Structure 1
Amino acid sequence: MTMTKIAFFDAHSYDRDSFEMWNKDFGFDIHYYKERLSMNSIELTKGKEIVCVFVNDEISAQVIDALVKNGVKLVALRCAGFNNVDLPEAKGKLRVVRVPAYSPHAVAEYAVTLMLSLNRKVYRSTQRTREGNFRLSGLLGFDMYGKTAGIVGMGRIAKVLVNILKGFGMNILAYDKFPDMKWAKENGVKMVDLPELYANSDVISLHCPLTHETLHMIDKDAIDMMKPGVMIINTGRGKLIRTEDLIQGLRSHKVGSAGLDVYEEEAKFFYEDHSDRMINDDHLALLLMMPNVIVTSHQAFFTREALQNIATTTLQNCKDFLDGKELVNEVMAK
């Protein structure tokens, strides 16, 4: 019996280790490629029925047509977001599945990690003490207790985050285009519109998908509405924030600090080692120099539990497709 071939793009050692472990239960013939999927790497999909991709792979209209020509029938996203897929173009040509909830706890806990690290200047104090400097000047933080957190988007990750922040004794404001009012009432969350959330939050955390409506939702106008010294956390998608406006907000001290696990031009840098060369991106280089900014490499998802869920859900999505079953994690153009 011939095993179904999967072209696995943007593969790293941890991807391979995880998928190889769980693929023993599925028996796919997985071909791992370091390259990201684009027109430059499309040849690697020949003879494959399925492609497995991540957040920075390119599934444009041109790529979709080339995939179909090469015999690919399924795009399996091993992530929750699907903004890198041209869904209208895929309709009727390819089916697309994703992993909607690999670990809400992993991402929510990481958002809190960024909040606490920024607030208490843990990253700065660690650098100092390693050099023998034990002074406290410049390390002043604030009590999270009694402060207000504004959560944009109220999906699974945000709901876990709310429960964590409630444990700190924080007040919670939230915005969602389609709010779950019952859950909000039961959990002491006040649903508000964005201007009210911006104006009254000490910490703002972004947990909404990237769409035409949310593209650059944090821009100069949004920042102007915010409290002086606001902390902004983004573990969602980089393009939710207009970077140049965030930098101006940081320079003017309207934004007190920023924790960014994503960056709008991250595809050029993230998941690769650039330590032996200059960062050829003025905005990113500036953010990396700022003492009140933490930039990490899209790692909020990166826990053992999440990697297991990503692998098993992705492989089950592929099996369900081949077995002709309902694709419970399918995404389609509206």
Structure 2
Amino acid sequence: MEILAYGVQADERPLLEEAFTGRHELRCLSVFLNRDTAPLAAGHPVVSSSVNAELDAETLARLAAGGTKLIAQRSTGFNNIDLDAAEKLGLTVARVSHYSPYAVAEHAWALALAVNRRLTRAAYRSREFDFRLDGLLGRDIHGMTVGVIGTGKIGECFARIAHGFGTELLGWDIERNPACEELGMAYTELDELLARADLISLHVPLLPATHHLIDARALDRMKDDAILVNSSRGGLVDSAALVETLRAGRLSGVGLDVYEEETGVFFTDRSIQGISDDVLARLVTFPQVVVTSHQAYFTRTAVGQIIEATVRNVDDFAAGRRGENTLVPR
């Protein structure tokens, strides 16, 4: 089958090409899938999209008009896809249901450690041969109270690392994870977790109920010197409220791998033209904030698993099978 893959990163391309060699014909594009780029897929029965694709009803209609039958998204999240529209158009939609939870949990901790120990500022200074310690004072992770919001596979991995540091663990989720409880995690109400935790990490999916879970009220509940890490979905955090919190001199560190308006910005080079998003532009100016470009999943292990699942999804479709990753038809 002929496959057009959108939003393919340079390091991802050889892995994709190797996986599909001898199975299906693959063409890779660096541009993201949206209503403007959808016509490029004309004549391709299968398209593979990245996490930042904009698969609204119009985009899907243009894909269907061009002959596309399957959308194989190379990510776990699918809040960017209008599943109802896809079903009406007769499109099959598949995702990657899971990949290495260690990749995301480890990156979340990398962000937490970077903001706590001011590593970005220290690295920039060293390049200019400025070896002062002014403004680089951090805290021991050992002995901190760590709040894990969402204790599924990734949250559990994050909690295991936290346990290794010697922290007190608090958890919040709709269901308790026995493995986390074995680590000594105490499940609490969200307000209590926000008020007690020195470090808070988000690991819940983006749903209507979790949109802006961390809003102005939640930020007000947090300690003035708390650390906040989000490696899940940008929409979990009210970014404008976060800016106001930081402007007020609160929070000692914020690590963000995702941003609620990242589509069209993350995974692109804006170093010349800059960005028009005033909130994001303001966020990156705070010295205690580190922003990375949705790269928590981006390890050889995790990307390899994502590609393997994508190949299986295409094979299932070609064989007329409904696989475990099929979202539509439902």
Please give the range of the TM-score, normalised by the shorter of the 2 chains: over 0.9
Q: Partner of 1:172 in structure 2?
A: 169
* C-alpha contact (below 8 Å) 1:149/1:203 kept by paired residues: yes
Deviation at 1:227, TM superposition (A): 1.4
Deviation at 1:274, TM superposition (A): 1.5
- 1:144 and 2:141 equivalent? yes
Q: Which runs of 4+ in 1 moved over 3 A?
A: none
- Pick one of 129, 135, 157 that aligns with 1:132: 129
Shift in alpha-carbon separation, 1:175–1:234, aligned structure 2, 3 A = same
Query: Structure 2: which amino acid aligns with 1:124?
Result: R
Q: Partner of 1:76 in structure 2?
A: 72
| Count of residue pairs brought into register by the alignment | 329
How far apart, in 1, do the equivalents of 2:47 and 2:222 lie? Answer: 43
Q: Partner of 1:186 in structure 2?
A: 182
Moved more, 34-43 or 290-299: 34-43
Deviation at 1:147, TM superposition (A): 0.8
Unaligned runs of 5+ in 2: none
How far apart, in 1, do the equivalents of 2:52 and 2:186 lie? Answer: 34
How far apart, in 1, do the equivalents of 2:38 and 2:126 lie? Answer: 49
How far apart, in 2, do the equivalents of 1:99 and 1:181 lie? Answer: 22
Query: Structure 2: which amino acid aligns with 1:110?
Result: H
- 1:286 and 2:282 equivalent? yes
- 1:295 and 2:291 equivalent? yes
Query: Structure 1: which amino acid aligns with 2:10?
Result: S
Deviation at 1:333, TM superposition (A): 9.2
How far apart, in 1, do the equivalents of 2:329 and 2:82 lie? Answer: 8
What is the SS of the residue equivalent to 1:14?
A: coil
Q: Partner of 1:116 in structure 2?
A: 113
Q: Partner of 1:9 in structure 2?
A: 6
- CA RMSD for the aligned pairs? 1.7
Q: Partner of 1:232 in structure 2?
A: 228
- 1:316 and 2:328 equivalent? no
Task: Give the TM-score, by structure 1 length.
Answer: 0.94
How far apart, in 2, do the equivalents of 1:74 and 1:190 lie? Answer: 44
Deviations along 1:35-82, whole A, 9 cap, x unmatched?
221121121222111110011111112222332232222211101111
Query: Structure 1: which amino acid aligns with 2:213?
Result: M
* C-alpha contact (below 8 Å) 1:228/1:254 kept by paired residues: yes
1:31-110 to structure 2, matched below 5 A, reads 31-91=27-87, 93-110=90-107
Q: Percent of counterpart pairs with the same letter? A: 39
How far apart, in 2, do the equivalents of 1:136 and 1:280 lie? Answer: 34
Query: Structure 1: which amino acid aligns with 2:230?
Result: N
Deviation at 1:252, TM superposition (A): 1.4
Query: Structure 1: which amino acid aligns with 2:321?
Result: K
How far apart, in 2, do the equivalents of 1:87 and 1:76 lie? Answer: 13
Q: Partner of 1:261 in structure 2?
A: 257
* C-alpha contact (below 8 Å) 1:52/1:77 kept by paired residues: yes
Query: Structure 2: which amino acid aligns with 1:22?
Result: A
Deviation at 1:316, TM superposition (A): 1.0
Moved more, 274-283 or 4-13: 274-283
Q: Partner of 2:242 in structure 1?
A: 246
Deviation at 1:303, TM superposition (A): 1.1
Moved more, 237-246 or 96-105: 96-105
How far apart, in 2, do the equivalents of 1:292 and 1:5 lie? Answer: 47
* C-alpha contact (below 8 Å) 2:159/2:180 kept by paired residues: no
